Structure 1
């Protein structure tokens, strides 16, 4: 009986210590490229460090033709090179925006950028796409409270398709510690 109580106390102490651990996300790089200049151009795509602890990402894509029909995103984790980690999804962008609850994984990633972008309505998108000042603080909170993610270096590859042709790519790199 005494050993069961000791084991229980140890478990409670370990759980308390685990709950005190916080996750910190930090941007390390962003690469944006257009594969079809007649479809879209990238006006800007950068990480802006404000100080040692605060950075944000901003991105503006000028859509010259519409619509974007599919978006593929895949998460990679560093382990002697970037290897696939958990998710590789392709979603029909207009169908997804009509009902974001239909795909909870895509919804999680959409919610990461929704409040910092102009992508807050359903199709058709006939204007530029902007992500403005998406901060590391906001993402740290999401990766701590919403979806705990193990420490490591990560890359999220996003491929944008129109009419089943790859038109643009955005690769975002970060670390979680």
Structure 2
């Protein structure tokens, strides 16, 4: 009986390793946060946190200095890293088309499938989870989204090994208020 249980545990561990090796695996490399209007918001923290050899997470938090009632815009685009420019800075190129959302409308009916997938990455890790207005929030945060969670969610998406970024821009009244960029590397597919 003991021998059979040991073999079963070994087999399950082996299957997990094969899935990890042959499934898509990504790792966060950086996150940048910038408040463009200090009267509306400020960055409290913005970091990639190392949790282990192959595991890390993203944490960020913006203090909200004024309530946001409506007219919230969200722009995002997935980019891939191209060759470096002459001065050594990365040359980011579009990987997917850009998406512009009216967030008050999106939070009501989740009408955009690509945006729905992006927001599923942070589900349970953020207070960005209700419709407008945002009047009582003192901050907007995303906490402890791990690369292993995201890796399991993006399996099946055709992405080659390499460096990627999700560039995001939040606006109110058609004025950019916050820029947040998430950088990651696809290590295996």
Is residue 143–residue 149 contact of structure 1 (8 Å, CA) maintained in 2?
A: no
For the pair 1:119 / 2:133, whether they are aligned, the reply is no
Could you say what the CA RMSD is over the residues aligned between the two structures, in angstroms? 1.8
Instruction: Name 1:70's counterpart in structure 2.
Output: 73
Instruction: Name 2:7's counterpart in structure 1.
Output: none
**Distance in 2 separating the partners of 1:69 and 1:121:** 13
With normalisation by structure 1, the TM-score equals 0.84
Map 1:19-30 to 2 at 5 A.
21-30=22-31
With normalisation by structure 2, the TM-score equals 0.79
Is residue 116–residue 134 contact of structure 1 (8 Å, CA) maintained in 2?
A: yes
1:72-125 deviation line (CA, Å, top 9, x unaligned): 00111012121011131010011000001x111111111111221112211111
Is residue 38–residue 64 contact of structure 1 (8 Å, CA) maintained in 2?
A: yes
Instruction: Name 2:6's counterpart in structure 1.
Output: none
The structure with the largest helix share of the pair is 1
Instruction: Name 2:183's counterpart in structure 1.
Output: 173
Q: 2:106 aligns with which of 71, 86, 96?
A: 96
Instruction: Name 2:170's counterpart in structure 1.
Output: 160
Map 1:35-54 to 2 at 5 A.
35-54=36-55
Residue 21 of structure 1: how far off its partner (Å): 2.1
Instruction: Name 1:142's counterpart in structure 2.
Output: 153
Where does the alignment leave 5 or more consecutive residues of structure 2 unmatched? 1-20, 84-90
Secondary structure, aligned partner of 1:87? coil
Residue 148 of structure 1: how far off its partner (Å): 4.1
Stretches (4+) displaced over 6 A:
none
Instruction: Name 1:59's counterpart in structure 2.
Output: 60
For the pair 1:79 / 2:82, whether they are aligned, the reply is yes
**Distance in 2 separating the partners of 1:42 and 1:130:** 10
**Distance in 1 separating the partners of 2:27 and 2:130:** 29
